[in-house]
Structure 1
């Protein structure tokens, strides 16, 4: 079977809705709500249609398509400039150190402060792969295709990029972090607050959340233990982000306490290492032996496509295997962007 990443279309709504029902909650960018998903696809459609090559507040939705069955089996999103429609809130973890002469002791208190430090950054998010397809490197294809999209449209993205990882959620769908902080101020369950945020934005956080720092020592142990930890299903995603150069700088999600990873856009491995080349021919018996596996992207905006390929370099360009050429729907002379797997 052959898979490719392509721009999402409005007629992908049903496929996205079916996948959203499989997320298990905590996926703000992929809520199991048709009107919300439709609105996101419409925003993406507008972004793909805008040809001005400059930074603005946009959302791009892409999907993983099985080209043999035409089924959509995964999705990912890119946000060019967060915090424009409503504030982009995070908790920043910090430490206050104090010394007592009388006790001759040093005390260190960890605190969570509500901040908008990351406002204006770009974001890669909304990544979900159908449970039946979690093999063969398709998650890696989804994740890294976003960086090739950024490289292909660099002027439309900020100089810093972030990724939010889902935090710890128990088998009942509850978040210990939310129960320890947000739930005490909002009178809402985690699921209710998460869905409200997905549908209406997080301005209600600014309206109701206390602005003073929260001392973590005042939280119960369950809430403290999950701060900055990814959901078990997100550990591999965290490793992939770290491999790309993202780091955890003590920012956590205000709902579930999951870690927010950040990187300088031009330093992201798959952006900095992306090479431009031209397709000159298909692999033959003499060149197949020297070929290596890579991610190949071609086209811009609505025409953007990305897939795995076997690649052999020559002085004049590159040669690809037949399956990749068919999957990407390209011909000799096509301009390509590639990064080794």
Structure 2
């Protein structure tokens, strides 16, 4: 069975909506709201239609498709530049040290500072894999296909990449971080605030959030323990990000306290190791597993397959990969080792 990553289309709306209902909340980039998802698909269509190489406020939505049945089993998103339509807020964890000569004691305190430091970055997010497909390395395909897309359209993305990981949210959709910090200033629960943000943007944060630092020692123990901790379901994603070269640099989400991972775009492992080659008529004698992609913008397709690179640089693909990517002899592909 072969799965292919491709840009989403308007007729993928219902499949995305059904997946959004399975997220369990706290998944801002994939809200269980048809109009919001439709707006994302429209932004994706506009981004694909724009064929120049300038960085703009683009959103690319990808879906994971079963090449045999056409069933959609996953999705992910790439934002070419965040902070374009409205500010992109984060909390930055900072340290403050004070010394008392009379007590002969040093006090070290952490604070949460509301910042927009990450504006202008590109973002990879919205990654969701259907529960029935969480095996066989499909999560790896889902995540890394974004980096091949970026490598193949490099001028349309910034020099820094970020990824927000969902923070701790309980079975009832409550966030201890929200309850202990931001929720005290907004008069609404986490689910309502998160849904409002997904549908309307976060300008209300700028309107209501206090600008002075918040001392971590003054918030509840439950909220403190949630700072920078990913949701249980996001731990594999965090490990994959770390393997790609992302690191946590003390930025967290203002809603649930989840970690925001960052990396220099050209230093991301998959992007740095992407190569291009011409497809040869030969079939690989044995072959090694690799991520292979072809096409530009709306014709982009990516899958996991077996390849063999010859001494002349030409690449041999196994028949299933050639069929999934719809490539012929002489076509150009990009690939990265598994």
Category of TM-score, reference length = shorter chain: over 0.9
User: How far apart are residue 158 of structure 1 and its match?
Assistant: 0.3
For 2:134 and 2:285, the matched residues in 1 are separated by 28
Offset from partner CA, 1:103-161 (integer Å, 9 cap, x none): 00000010000000000000000000000000000011010000000000000000001
**What is residue 272 of structure 1 aligned with on the other side?**
272
Give 3-state SS (helix, strand or coil) of 2:281's partner.
strand
**What is residue 294 of structure 1 aligned with on the other side?**
290
- Equivalent residues in 2 for 1:165-244 (5 A)? 165-244=165-244
Structure 1 residue corresponding to 2:315, chosen from 314, 318, 324: 318
**What is residue 332 of structure 1 aligned with on the other side?**
329
Offset from partner CA, 1:250-293 (integer Å, 9 cap, x none): 0000000000000000000000000111110242xxx423x100
For 2:331 and 2:247, the matched residues in 1 are separated by 35
Tell me, yes or no, if the aligned pair for 1:282 and 1:322 is still in contact at 8 Å: no
**What is residue 52 of structure 2 aligned with on the other side?**
52
For 2:24 and 2:278, the matched residues in 1 are separated by 42
User: How far apart are residue 315 of structure 1 and its match?
Assistant: 2.4
Tell me, yes or no, if the aligned pair for 1:280 and 1:319 is still in contact at 8 Å: yes
Give 3-state SS (helix, strand or coil) of 2:279's partner.
strand
Q: Does 1:17 align with 2:14?
A: no
User: How far apart are residue 334 of structure 1 and its match?
Assistant: 1.2
**What is residue 159 of structure 1 aligned with on the other side?**
159
- Equivalent residues in 2 for 1:141-156 (5 A)? 141-156=141-156
Give 3-state SS (helix, strand or coil) of 2:179's partner.
helix
**What is residue 304 of structure 1 aligned with on the other side?**
300
| CA root-mean-square deviation | 0.7
User: How far apart are residue 183 of structure 1 and its match?
Assistant: 1.2
For 1:184 and 1:72, the matched residues in 2 are separated by 39
Give 3-state SS (helix, strand or coil) of 2:139's partner.
helix
Q: Does 1:82 align with 2:78?
A: no
**What is residue 246 of structure 2 aligned with on the other side?**
246
- The runs of 5 or more residues in structure 1 that have no matched partner are none
User: How far apart are residue 182 of structure 1 and its match?
Assistant: 1.4
Offset from partner CA, 1:155-174 (integer Å, 9 cap, x none): 00000010000000111110
For 2:201 and 2:282, the matched residues in 1 are separated by 48
For 2:7 and 2:328, the matched residues in 1 are separated by 20
Tell me, yes or no, if the aligned pair for 1:90 and 1:251 is still in contact at 8 Å: yes
Give 3-state SS (helix, strand or coil) of 1:281's partner.
coil
**What is residue 66 of structure 1 aligned with on the other side?**
66
For 1:197 and 1:14, the matched residues in 2 are separated by 22
The runs of 4+ residues in structure 1 deviating greater than 3 Å are none
Tell me, yes or no, if the aligned pair for 1:91 and 1:253 is still in contact at 8 Å: yes
Count of residues in Structure 1 that have an aligned counterpart in Structure 2: 337
Offset from partner CA, 1:176-228 (integer Å, 9 cap, x none): 00000111111111000000000000000000011110001011100000100
**What is residue 136 of structure 1 aligned with on the other side?**
136
**What is residue 4 of structure 1 aligned with on the other side?**
4
- The runs of 5 or more residues in structure 2 that have no matched partner are none
User: How far apart are residue 72 of structure 1 and its match?
Assistant: 0.8
Offset from partner CA, 1:13-63 (integer Å, 9 cap, x none): 000000000000011110000000000000000000100111111100010
